[in-house]
Structure 1
Amino acid sequence: MFRLKKNPESKEDLQLLQEYRKQGDLDVLGQLFERYMHLVYGVALKHFSDRELAKDAVNQIFERLIVEIPKFEIQNFKSWLFVVTKNFCLMEIRKEKSHRNRFEKFSADQNMESAEFLHPIDEMTNSSLEDNLKHCIERLKLEQRQCVVLFYYQEKGYKEISEELEFPEKKVKSYIQNGKRNLKICLEQIESKHEV
């Protein structure tokens, strides 16, 4: 049976991989990862359409390799890394959708405001809006910020937040409602500045 010759680069990949498995030396893993960092960045950029998010993804994927490599029998590091990167990006996008759904669900449950209220927070379709939202969250009062982050980003319920932060449940609800109102105001201020 005809077989393609293995190219020397893939052999080197396997040698580095074996060396890393034996010694657990992160410099060796770094050397291997560096060869394909452009590929990881390219895949992440394609999925996120945001350079900063793509750079963050590169770092997170490197950290993930430390955990994932021992679990798998890897024959072709480049192909395997491509799959790991793609899966990571898809999981992050799915998480982001789940956060958006959380905002929508909360708005529907609370019946706090009209449907227009959903616009700035719930329809985070572009990265600048997400950046603005992060900026506005940072500007919230500490208690509001803690409650909003735990509720929307870590998907914890009122009771869990109440226990974790040692606030009464009513306070937690109040902090989330006020935090959400303040986020809306902050986002609207940013939008009006851009329109001027």
Structure 2
Amino acid sequence: MMKVKKGDLDKLGLLFERYNRPLFSFFYRMCKDSDTSEDLVQSVFERMLKYRESYTGSGTFTTWMFSIARNAHIDHYRKVKRRAIPVEIDEERLEVEEDETAIIDQKEQKKSLLEMALERLDEEKREIVILSRYEGLKYKEIADILNTTEGAIKVKMFRAMKELKDLVTTLSEECSYE
């Protein structure tokens, strides 16, 4: 990124190759929409180019990148909210997921339950879990992204994991009754 900052814009392509999948994964887990996730990944790289002068190199690159990603996600949903586009739950999708859950093996069922539970967490908790468990960021890096303390992230992560566990248990019980 330091080379991009100095004007070697070809290096942005290397960064894209290395980080587009983790960014897509982050966005997809946040919004469950492939097209939106792809658009947001592009937006992050556009912003990285636009704001390259703000990169200092003092923290980790991924912290800076996920800060931009988080802001892009927030900005996107502010625009969507202003347009008053209703967010609807796709009932057919939920029915298909329930049918598939009955067919797949136990390991896949647990993974499916976890994903469903993750979707039910509020956005802040889901974001912290995704950044920590799926993207592999340290609590300090997440704290830097969210502009808070590492201690606050630890507390939020503990609460999010407890709620996630409770949701998985509830969903598991619901599935066993069906």
TM-score category (smaller protein)? 0.3 to 0.5
Normalised by the size of structure 1, how large is the TM-score?
A: 0.41
**CA radius of gyration, larger in:** 1
Higher relative contact order (CA 8 A, sep 6+): 2
